[in-house]
Structure 1
Amino acid sequence: MAYTLTPSSKFLVKGIEPNLTPMVLGSFHANFTASFDFLGRWFKGDEKTTTESAFGVGPWDMLGRDPQKLKSFNEAMASDSQMINMALRDSKSVFKGLESIVDVGGGTGSNNLSYVGGSMFESIPSADVVLLKWILHNWDDENAMKILNNCKEAISKKGGGKVIIIDAVIKEKEDEHEMTEVKLLFDIMMMSNFNGKERTEEEWKKLLVSAGFKHHKIAPLFGFRSIIEAYP
């Protein structure tokens, strides 16, 4: 009997680039998975997240208090970005003619960039494009609206531009059953761990229109995620 790696498992082999090992370890960190033991208490109680039910603090405070946990989280997001970069090679037209981009909540980042400190709930540096990769699903509609309003203001200063959102779009009637399961699993994770949510196409439309965006388009990107381009 012979054994071989599946296409997916090859991305977990040490020395292979891109490598998703940090993503797997970071996403299923013991503190996040342990919080699921408190789902019952969270569901019946007043805490906004299961991490509050389990550890007494919200997810961002939990990460901020432990440098090692934060390092693991940032490495997970960076490894995920490697995969997204590969997918975006087939979407070069999305960035055509654009001179500047702000990656909101970009973590540690990599390659040809400048770091700008601040809160996305207060202001965002002006640019031709504002990128939100796996950001808005961490937040409820009220907070997501605040972020989008600041994004719209940031691109308006440059006289146009757009906001690029990389996130899941739930399409139960169109997706295969297994894909819908993945998206709904992440919906549960976002809702319980972060008080966030994955959104349907209609929910994205409502959110973007409410934030003042006049036009948007959605296209599948990679795995269970889509790329959303929103224009003021």
Structure 2
Amino acid sequence: MELTSQAQAMLDAQTELWQNTFAFVKSMALKSAVDLHIADTIQHHGGAATLSQIANKAMVPPSKTPCLSRLMRTLTSAGVFSTQQPPSGGDDCNSEHLLYTLTPVTRLLVGSPNQAAFTSFAPHLATVSSMFELSRWLQSELLDPCMFKLRNGCTAFELANGDPAFNEAFNDGMVSDTEFIMDIVVKEHGEVFQGISSLIDVGGGLGAAAHAISKAVLDLAHVVDKAPGNTDVKYIAGDMFESIPPENVIFLKVVFDLYIMVVNGTERDENEWKKIFLEAGFSDYKITSVLGLRSIIEVYP
């Protein structure tokens, strides 16, 4: 018996509501796949691995293998992995016979540069739990304390300074993202750096962007302490909210919106950027939308 159009519309709406409600499940599933190095295992096995091969490499005990199968089913339906039958045939419905393969998404998690560290850090507990403060924070008149501090008792910078594990995860995540995007920027749009004699990478983490551009980096002291040596890059301990050393060019890399709001970070549309640029005394700007969700913004004195 067919559903009425009204009933079908309500069920479709519920499906969409559930997809948004349970979106965190897919995010956590992806994080676990990265932490278990599942993409690396598939790559190691020539691009196709069985469930048992994945379980063995990830040290998942037999009692949890059915749960691993459910994880892979979720990620496969999300397009993170794909499946194929083994060359010898077999029951495609039997997960033990399936070969799990990489997709364009998970190929970003293997090789170099890759997005594995960033994908693992982005849903970090300290940040995700901070989002539980969103409604309470929105009802407050004040920006401070930020959501991150409300939940964790300190700012993200303070946590990084006092928690080596968080600091390392953050730095590795930023390096992962920066190496990926800067590889494209330098190869495809390197002309934006032509004629630059000196550049300061503000809040540059361990200097992945500066290594790509081979100039200078500014970051907090606890980051500089971990910075690798490089004759082309000078590391300067400091606070970008207090002062920025004078250089020929200032470089700043951002993305996100609600995500970065947990630390009182702000994303802006073009009109908002234009207002800031002109009020700061800059004469003009240029936005080039060539980096997927991100763009190259050039601001001129």
TM-score by length of 2: 0.56
Q: Deviations over 1:160-191 (max 9, x none)?
A: xxxxxxx5xxxxxxxxxxxxxxxxxx321222
Distance 2:132 2:239 in 1: 32
The answer (yes or no) to whether the contact 1:41–1:53 under 8 Å persists in 2 is no
Distance 1:39 1:93 in 2: 41
Residue 31 (structure 1) aligned with residue 122 (structure 2): no
Number of aligned residue pairs: 179
- Distance apart, 1:40 and its partner CA: 2.9
Partner of 1:8: 105
The 1:228/1:5 distance shift into structure 2, 3 A limit, reads: same
Distance 1:124 1:51 in 2: 25
- Paired letter, 1:37: F
Partner of 1:100: 198
- Distance apart, 1:41 and its partner CA: 2.6
The answer (yes or no) to whether the contact 1:23–1:75 under 8 Å persists in 2 is yes
Residue 44 (structure 1) aligned with residue 156 (structure 2): no
Partner of 1:123: 243
Distance 1:97 1:44 in 2: 48
- Paired letter, 1:11: L
SS in 2 for 1:133: coil
Distance 2:177 2:104 in 1: 16
Q: Deviations over 1:115-174 (max 9, x none)?
A: 11222233322322211112xxxxxxxxxxxxxxxxxxxxxxxxxxxxxxxx5xxxxxxx
- Distance apart, 1:99 and its partner CA: 2.1
Structure 1 gap segments, 5+ residues each: 135-166, 168-185
For residues 34-73 of structure 1, what are the structure 2 equivalents within 5 Å? 34-45=129-140, 46=142, 47-73=144-170
Distance 2:190 2:135 in 1: 45
CA RMSD, 1 decimal:
1.8
Distance 1:126 1:56 in 2: 34
- Paired letter, 2:137: W
- Distance apart, 1:196 and its partner CA: 1.9
Residue 203 (structure 1) aligned with residue 241 (structure 2): no
Distance 1:52 1:230 in 2: 33
The 1:56/1:122 distance shift into structure 2, 3 A limit, reads: closer
Distance 1:130 1:93 in 2: 16
Distance 2:149 2:176 in 1: 27
- Paired letter, 1:189: Y
- Distance apart, 1:30 and its partner CA: 0.9
Distance 1:60 1:229 in 2: 28
Distance 2:197 2:103 in 1: 39
SS in 1 for 2:235: coil
TM-score by length of 1: 0.71
Return the structure number with greater relative CO, CA threshold 8 A, min gap 6: 1
